[in-house]
C-alpha cells in the first residue's frame, strides 16, 4: 500500500492524518517486513520525541482495523507491517527474535485441494533458529 492509498483509507473511515499516524506510516513504509511495536516506537521516537509507546500501539491498532497495516502474532509478540496485496508467512528466531518473511506459501498445494470449504485467511508461523543463532545454547524467550 502506498502512503497516498493509506491516507485515502484513513479519510474513508473518517480518521485524520495526525502527525503521529503520518510518522508511523512513514516508518512502516521504510521497513521491509514485520516489526514489533517496540522497534516501531524507537524509530518513531527519533522523529517525534514526545510520543509514548501507548500512542504508537493505539495507532497501529487503528491502522490495522481499517486495513492499512497487517499484524501477525509471532510467539508472544504482535508484529506489524504496511498492508501488502499478497499474504505472507513468517519465520521467527527463538534466540534473537529476528522475523523473516517466507517467499512462498507452504499451504498453496493443500489449499488448492480443499473441497466444500472456502478458505479466506490462514497464518503460518515457523519458529526456529537463524543461521547466526543456531550454534548458541540458550534461547531468549
Each residue of 58-100: pLDDT tens digit? Answer: 999 999 999 999 888 776 778 898 887 666 677 878 788 777 7
User: Are residues 67 and 91 both part of a single domain?
Assistant: no
Residues in the chain: 141
User: Are residues 73 and 118 both part of a single domain?
Assistant: no
- The beta-strand segments (E) located in 1-141 are 35-36, 69-74, 77-82, 90-93, 99-101, 125-128
Q: What percent of the chain has pLDDT over 90?
A: 43
β partners of residue 127: 92
User: Confidence band (pLDDT; 50, 70, 90) for 141?
Assistant: very low
Which residues have a Cβ under 8 Å from the Cβ of 76 and sit 6 or more positions away? none
β partners of residue 36: 79
Binding residues for Fe cation: 122
Binding residues: 93, 96, 122, 130, 133
Pick from 31, 33, 27, 36: nearest CA to 100: 33
Give me the domain span that covers residue 53.
Answer: 3-82
User: Are residues 69 and 25 both part of a single domain?
Assistant: yes
Last residue of a domain, one of 82, 101, 129: 82
Q: Is the distance from CB of 53 to CB of 41 less than 8 angstroms?
A: yes
- The CATH number of the domain holding residue 97 is 3.30.1490.190
Distance CA(133)–CA(18), nearest Å, equals 40
Last residue of a domain, one of 65, 82, 99: 82
Into how many domains does the chain fold?
Answer: 2
pLDDT of residue 55: 97
Binding residues for Zn(2+): 93, 96, 130, 133
- Name the residue with cell 522497534: 39
Look at 80 and 124; give whichever has higher pLDDT.
80
- The CATH number of the domain holding residue 23 is 1.10.10.10
Last residue of a domain, one of 57, 82, 107: 82
User: Are residues 59 and 25 both part of a single domain?
Assistant: yes
- Does position 137 have pLDDT exceeding 60, yes or no? no
Q: How far is CA 9 from CA 19, 33, 42, 62, 75, in A?
A: 16, 21, 26, 11, 30
Amino acid at each position: 500500500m502506498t502512503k497516498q492509498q493509506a491516507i485515502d483509507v484513513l479519510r474513508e473511515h473518517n480518521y485524520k492524518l495526525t502527525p503521529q499516524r503520518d510518522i508511523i506510516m512513514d516508518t512502516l513504509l521504510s521497513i521491509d517486513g514485520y516489526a514489533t511495536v517496540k522497534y516501531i516506537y524507537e524509530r518513531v521516537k527519533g522523529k517525534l520525541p514526545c510520543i509514548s509507546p501507548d500512542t504508537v500501539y493505539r495507532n497501529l491498532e487503528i491502522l490495522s482495523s481499517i486495513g492499512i497495516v497487517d499484524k501477525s502474532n509471532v510467539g508472544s509478540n504482535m508484529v506489524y507491517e504496511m498492508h501488502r496485496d499478497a499474504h505472507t508467512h513468517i519465520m521467527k528466531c527463538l534466540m534473537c527474535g529476528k522475523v523473516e518473511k517466507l517467499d512462498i506459501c507452504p499451504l498453496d498445494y493443500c489449499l488448492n485441494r480443499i473441497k466444500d470449504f472456502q478458505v479466506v485467511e490462514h497464518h503460518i508461523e515457523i519458529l526456529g533458529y537463524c543461521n547466526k543463532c543456531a550454534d548458541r545454547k540458550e534461547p531468549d524467550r
